[in-house]
Homo-oligomer: A and B are copies of this chain.
Amino acid sequence: MLQDNRDTLPRRVGAGLEVAHVLVRDRSKPRVPECRDEWVTTDPEVVFADETVDIVVEVMGGETPAREYIERAIDAGKSVVSANKYLLATHGPALLERAGRKGVDLAFEASVGGGIPVIRTLREALTGDSVVSIHGILNGTCNYILTRMKKAGLAFDDALREAQELGYAEADPTLDVEGFDAAQKLVVTSMLAFGASVPVSEVSVEGITRVDAVDFAAAERFGYTIKHLAIGRDLGDELSLHVHPALVPRASVVANIDDVLNCVFIQGRGLGPCLLVGRGAGDMPTAVSVVSDIVDAARSKLEGQAGLTTRAIHAVPRKLQPLEELSCRYYLRFDVGDTPGVLGVIASALGAEGVSIEQMVQEGTAGSNDLPVSVLMITHETQEGNVLRALEAIGREAFLRGKPRFIRIEDI
């Protein structure tokens, strides 16, 4: 990309950009033809010792040795461009502070949403506004699987297998399908959106492995579809950060961001709604973000003002809202033996916790074959604590086949 745009980039930067070194693990691997042999090295010291290096781009991922390398680059007065969501989510505020003290930039557009300019938009376009909430589809693997469940009626396992065959899911898909990848991206985004420094471990995370084809059909029936969302809300004193599958209205724009696309829906106090959509992964989209960060870092350095962008990010610890206080509407599913009076018991248990029912549907018909019947409900808005207590009570009933299931509803 640097090569392809060598005519226009110097005009944008105010100077030329030259690759000095390419640090690799294995010298013998074949490289793209643009990568000159004399650039390639396996010795990190070559990079740190070279005083002519202004910017270090870290695209190795993971904690070790990326963290040490980034810290050493910062300490050596070099600006850093990183695509490392894990590192930013776990050590972002400390690394930003380190860069700020040293007067260098730490840019990380590629760490969230691939080529979508999420970080840049939050940092610069919304600089005069404040963010009320963000709703992100931040994991392409989950979105692909849920799209296939929606469109082809596949079960989760079959959709996952298909995603793996297409290269959209890893052999071990845990990080993606359990929601941890999205949670890391939510934490990085929250640094910018809410000025929040929050440990990933404190974010409530639920993946998509328990989403059932039955739930998709039921969601459809109620006018919804199911998306895996990373949600952040500024509640004033507290911040609410959650990653989970959610029912979203079928006609909403977010409901139709399908396949491996990612999106971030931002509600700004002044801006109102703003949606950014694009490819969340892939070498070229990632490169677009990395190069835009390189240009920024180079311009700052040339201007003698490296680090100004970085210092403007001010992430402080924020208190998270306890999960039981989360307030929304809920989709509930009870698989029951067709016992007369079941509905009365369920409704009473919900009522006892102040959970009121907005809509109810009974799926499947009673018969001699002893197949369970699904009781499907949409509640009015209520607190999660109430729902959990009611479901615990109902879960003890003998008529129940399997555990009650609930999915939050996001009316975006």
Interface residues of A (CB under 8 A from B): 1-2, 4-5, 8-9, 11-12, 14, 109, 115-117, 120-121, 124-130, 251, 253, 256-257, 261, 268-279, 282, 284-285, 287-292, 294-296, 299, 302-305, 308, 311-312, 314
A sample of 7 more A-B contacts (CB under 8 A), given A128-B290, A302-B305, A303-B303, is A2-B128, A5-B130, A115-B272, A125-B289, A256-B256, A271-B284, A276-B276
- Give the docked Cα–Cα distance between A272 and B281 (Å): 11
Contact, CB under 8 Å: A278 / B289: no
Are A128 and B271 in contact (CB-based, < 8 A)? no
Report whether A279 and B289 are in contact in the complex, using a CB–CB cutoff of 8 Å: no
Q: Which residues of chain B are within 8 angstroms of A1 by Cβ–Cβ distance?
A: 128-129, 270
Q: Do A270 and B287 touch across chains, with their CB atoms under 8 A apart?
A: yes
Q: How far apart sit A256 and B277, CA to CA, in the bound complex (Å)?
A: 14
14 A-B pairs within 8 Å (CB atoms) are namely A9-B127, A11-B311, A115-B271, A117-B124, A120-B120, A120-B124, A127-B292, A128-B287, A253-B277, A271-B285, A271-B288, A272-B279, A272-B282, A299-B305
Contact B251 A272 (CB under 8 A): no
Contact assessment for A273 and B268 in the assembled complex, using a CB-CB cutoff below 8 Å: no
Asked if A292 and B115 sit within 8 Å, CB to CB, the answer is no
Complex: A127 Cα to B5 Cα, angstroms? 9
The answer to whether B278 and A274 have CB atoms under 8 Å apart is: yes
Top 8 A-B residue pairs of the complex, sorted by shortest distance between their CB atoms:
A128-B291, A117-B125, A270-B284, A275-B277, A274-B278, A115-B271, A303-B305, A12-B312
Residue numbers in B under 8 Å from A291 (CB-CB)? 127-129
Tell me the smallest distance from the CB of A220 to a CB of chain B, in Å: 15
Each complex incorporates copies of this chain amounting to: 2
Q: Known: A299-B308, A305-B303. Is A271-B279 also a contact (CB below 8 A)?
A: yes
Tell whether A115 pairs with B277 under 8 Å between CB atoms, given A127-B12, A288-B125: no
Q: How far is the CB of A12 from chain B (nearest CB, A)?
A: 4
- Taking CB atoms, residues of chain B closer than 8 Å to A124 are 117, 120, 124, 292, 295-296
Q: Which residues of B contact A272 (CB under 8 A)?
A: 115, 278-279, 282, 284-285
User: A295: shortest Cβ distance to chain B, in Å?
Assistant: 5
Q: Are B115 and A117 in touch, CB under 8 angstroms?
A: no
Q: Chain B residues near A128: list those with CB within 8 A.
A: 1-2, 5, 9, 287-288, 290-292, 294-295
Task: Tell me the complex Cα distance, A275–B273, Å.
Answer: 14
Residues of B within 8 A of A9 (CB): 127-128
CB-nearest residue of chain B relative to A109? Answer: B125
- How far apart are the CA atoms of A292 and B121 in the complex, in Å? 10
CA distance in complex: A51, B354 (Å): 65
- Minimum CB–CB distance from A161 to chain B (whole Å) comes to 25
A295 cross-chain contacts in B, Cβ below 8 A = 124, 127-128
Contact check, A125 vs B120: say whether CB atoms are below 8 A apart: yes
- Cα–Cα, bound, A292→B128 (Å): 6
Which of A1, A124, A128, A284 has the most C-beta atoms of chain B within 10 angstroms of its own C-beta? A128
- Could you tell me if B277 and A277 are in contact, using CB atoms closer than 8 angstroms? yes
Q: Give the distance to chain B from A232, nearest Cβ to Cβ, in Å.
A: 18
User: Are A303's CB and B308's CB within 8 A?
Assistant: yes
How many angstroms from the CA of A305 to the CA of B5 in the assembled complex? 23
B285 in contact with A278 (CB, 8 Å): no
A136 CB to nearest B CB, Å: 14
Contact B116 A274 (CB under 8 A): yes
Q: How far is the CA of A362 from the CA of B291 in the complex (A)?
A: 53
In whole angstroms, what is the CA distance A288 to B253 when docked?
A: 23
Q: How far is the CA of A299 from the CA of B191 in the complex (A)?
A: 21
Residue of B nearest to A305 (CB): B303
Given contacts A14-B308, A128-B295, contact A271 B278 (CB under 8 A): yes
